Structure 1
Amino acid sequence: MEQEKCSMETTGKVITCKAAVTWTIDAPMSIEDVEVDPPKAGEVRIKIISSGICGSDNHVLEGDFKVPLPVILGHEGAGIVESIGEGVSSVKPGDKVLTVFLPQCRKCDSCLHAKGNCCLKEDVRHPVGLMLDGTSRFTCRGRKLHNAFGTSTFTEYTVMHEISVVKLDEAAPLEKVCLLACGFTTGYGSAINKARVTPGSTCVVFGLGGVGSSVVLGCKAAGAARIIGIDINEEKLARAKALGVTDCLNPRNFKKPIQQVVVEMTGFGADFSFEAIGTIDTMVAALESCNSSYGVCVIIGVAPEKSQLAFNPMQLLSGRTLKGCFLGDFKTRDHVPLLVDDYMKNKINLDPLITHRLPFLKVNEGFDLLRSGKSVRCVLSF
């Protein structure tokens, strides 16, 4: 009832609230008062309740992934619908929702194809940072702010397109299921949907942060017999063992390339390999770690802008398969609610991934934890 009252009081009006604004790269975000416009046709204004801190946001802050500035970052969010624009039918004020960076318009070539999930209305591959009508809903100090990936969750209120909003079970705990908006879904789905990990197989996972740890959970759920985890952070290796990693490797402890170590310890290479870091070197290492005849390598990490992936074509001619994967290959509005159901039924466990919780105003401290390697996922509370 309180939420409905709030919606009635603010519907159709500009809301002034706190947001973390990125004015420039290589600098902390600035907590500012911002004005958030009402939603236009096909749009939803959401009161953010929780948001995870993802490595992709850090790539923007460090300049490896360029988006238009100034911008409000954040894309792993969960909240409550405050108001809706004309024509919105899938959610209503008071609904619990997830904010997903990959929309599902259900009309484009990708959405209509059985195997496609990269909706052509996404704003990730070549971000413009604006709503579909070419305008912004955020203003700060008289200046328009850009939207990040169609989401922008580092703000108390955001505006999104209905096609990027996933309605949740009313009982879903927003402070946990926010991870289903990106990190868990991306990693878990890459193992279950894209690689299609088989029972009894051997998997190798490069990078054991939030996404890599979720890959481990996916491999385990698929019945992998051996899961090799690779990271230069010993703390992450220890945590990964509790998730299901059977062999932990720190590349700094070996004089030879880590892919050579993997091939030697497995005999002929892993059945499946996953790259969840975002560097060219680790992508090549992941490819060379899997079996030369039938190995499947899935690239998940976001490489620095203008990177070029180079490897000997013979690596593929022998039979390997190299794949990319966006948000776990899930069609977001169709499939993410099913993951929420699985969480509610205790079929998947998000708790081990959440290592830290902070109030939203300490968002910069959350990024410090990420960069230092101390956190797998830090969840901000609003």
Structure 2
Amino acid sequence: MASSSSAPQVITCKEALVMEEVEISPPQPLEIRIKTIFPRIFGHEASGVVESVGQGVTEFKEGDHVLTVFLGECMSCKMCKSGKSTICQVLGFERKGLMHSDQKTRFMFKGKPVYHYCAVSSFSEYTVVHSGCAVKISPHVPLEKVCLLSCGVAAGIGAAWNVADVSKGSTVVIFGLGTVGLSVAQGAKLRGASRIIGVDNNPRKCENGTIISSPSYSEFIFQHVTWSLDFTMLVSTTAKAFGITEVVDPNSCQKPIAQVIKGITDGGADFCFECVGDSDMLTTALESCCDGWGVTVALGVPRLKPKMSAHYSLFLKGRTLKGSIFGGWKPKSDLPSLVEKYMNKEIQIDDYITHNLPFDDINKAFNLMTEGKCLRCVIHIPR
């Protein structure tokens, strides 16, 4: 537990992947320390309660309910003020596993630093984040649900709404039907798309009306070691519930998938979304768009081969390729309205959650993922 003195002190708590006691420093200027209530795999999406605040923090106080966000918003830099970008110059991407303010870590294990992940590190009972990487929400909002808005669900819906601006009656093709892909489907459905085609190579995709996602990827930085994990995840609700109207399995096609898509969409889709993280698939998505106005949006983060190639004629014929980070949302400015939409039942989140597990069982969550038996596991830490 935190010290009862006025100044925050170093505390110890459990942290995964290996369940160990680590020391967590008090928040420094403009930082807050959060008691994590619902950390989400892979440790960059969480909801919790502010445990203490650092010097200069005025937006938050102890007891506030918050979402952590890997893409911060300082609200004062050139990018934040421009209204043209969601990538903050100050709190954009944390790459070194260190805090933005002093390039140090707040986690220690046996005297050695443990590095942060995506500036939010939610695989821990407590975490320290820059105040620009947290979003205050109402205490009446269920933390165990809206934690999914810290990345995956918000990223998918926003890609359809903010980045692609999916239009009513349009044809949409989604490559990769994990949580992000299904969130794109939900966003496209709410925008009135008439046809939403899912592309995924898992043969069990339509068994018993369910879908199984393709492999996804993430990294963890823990004591100088980068860990990678490939996994498949079971979607416990029907494709139709999220808006998918049909599913195409590339392995069952006799022609390249781009040709198949163009054949069944009269020359190509209006919008394509790459949600796998494969540069070759991104090229395929671009080729699957129609001439003249087809838009392809890249959401996936490539595990390998980060460079893509495409024939220049695709662009000469009017196709557009866009990148999407966090669905084009400004996290602190826009997430509260997305939370409100959830509370008003305008968007769905609950159906993405297939399991709720206590923190001590976090390795069971990993097993569920690797065995293809879950879509999203929410890990609960008692208050």
Matches within 5 A, 1:135-214: 135-214=104-183
Partner of 2:22: 34
Partner of 1:236: 211
- Are 2:74 and 2:91, in contact at CA under 8 Å, matched by a contact in 1? no
Query: Percent identity between the aligned chains?
Result: 45
1:96–1:16 CA distance, 2 compared to 1 (3 A):
same
Letter in 2 for 1:271: D
State how far apart, in whole Å, the 1-side matches of 2:201 and 2:372 are.
10
- Are 2:278 and 2:303, in contact at CA under 8 Å, matched by a contact in 1? yes
1:115–1:370 CA distance, 2 compared to 1 (3 A):
farther
Partner of 1:66: none
Matches within 5 A, 1:293-304: 293-304=292-303
2:31 paired with 1:43: yes
CA RMSD of aligned residues (A): 1.7
- Are 1:7 and 1:83, in contact at CA under 8 Å, matched by a contact in 2? no
Letter in 2 for 1:324: G
Partner of 2:10: 14
Letter in 1 for 2:360: L
Deviations 1:61-96 (A, max 9, x none): xxxxxxxxxxxxx11100000000011011110000
2:330 paired with 1:331: yes
Give the SS at the match of 1:30: coil
State how far apart, in whole Å, the 2-side matches of 1:207 and 1:188 are.
15
1:102–1:301 CA distance, 2 compared to 1 (3 A):
same
Partner of 2:376: 377
Displacement of 1:371: 3.5
1:104–1:7 CA distance, 2 compared to 1 (3 A):
farther
State how far apart, in whole Å, the 1-side matches of 2:378 and 2:5 are.
29
1:250–1:309 CA distance, 2 compared to 1 (3 A):
same
Q: Which has the higher mean CA deviation after the structures are superposed, 98-107 or 358-367?
A: 358-367
State how far apart, in whole Å, the 2-side matches of 1:217 and 1:223 are.
10
- Are 1:262 and 1:269, in contact at CA under 8 Å, matched by a contact in 2? yes
Displacement of 1:372: 3.7
1:254–1:113 CA distance, 2 compared to 1 (3 A):
same
Letter in 2 for 1:338: S
Partner of 1:23: none
State how far apart, in whole Å, the 1-side matches of 2:78 and 2:321 are.
23
Matches within 5 A, 1:55-74: 57=42, 74=43
TM-score by length of 1: 0.88
Mind listing any 5+ residue stretches in structure 1 that lack a counterpart?
21-28, 58-73
State how far apart, in whole Å, the 2-side matches of 1:239 and 1:7 are.
48
1:10–1:270 CA distance, 2 compared to 1 (3 A):
farther
Partner of 1:70: none
Displacement of 1:10: 8.5
Letter in 1 for 2:272: S
- Are 1:7 and 1:82, in contact at CA under 8 Å, matched by a contact in 2? no
Letter in 1 for 2:114: L
Give the SS at the match of 1:224: coil
Displacement of 1:269: 0.7
Letter in 2 for 1:118: I
1:202–1:18 CA distance, 2 compared to 1 (3 A):
same
- Are 1:300 and 1:324, in contact at CA under 8 Å, matched by a contact in 2? yes
1:211–1:108 CA distance, 2 compared to 1 (3 A):
same
Displacement of 1:255: 2.3
- Are 1:169 and 1:340, in contact at CA under 8 Å, matched by a contact in 2? no
Q: What number of residue pairs does the alignment pair up?
A: 350
State how far apart, in whole Å, the 2-side matches of 1:370 and 1:107 are.
40
The structure with the largest helix share of the pair is 1
1:324–1:50 CA distance, 2 compared to 1 (3 A):
same
- Are 1:122 and 1:149, in contact at CA under 8 Å, matched by a contact in 2? no
Give the SS at the match of 2:366: helix
Partner of 2:95: 127
State how far apart, in whole Å, the 2-side matches of 1:230 and 1:211 are.
13
Give the SS at the match of 1:215: helix
State how far apart, in whole Å, the 1-side matches of 2:259 and 2:272 are.
13
- Are 1:123 and 1:149, in contact at CA under 8 Å, matched by a contact in 2? no
Displacement of 1:240: 2.1
- Are 2:189 and 2:243, in contact at CA under 8 Å, matched by a contact in 1? yes
- Are 1:276 and 1:299, in contact at CA under 8 Å, matched by a contact in 2? yes
- Are 2:172 and 2:196, in contact at CA under 8 Å, matched by a contact in 1? yes
State how far apart, in whole Å, the 2-side matches of 1:231 and 1:141 are.
44
Partner of 2:196: 227
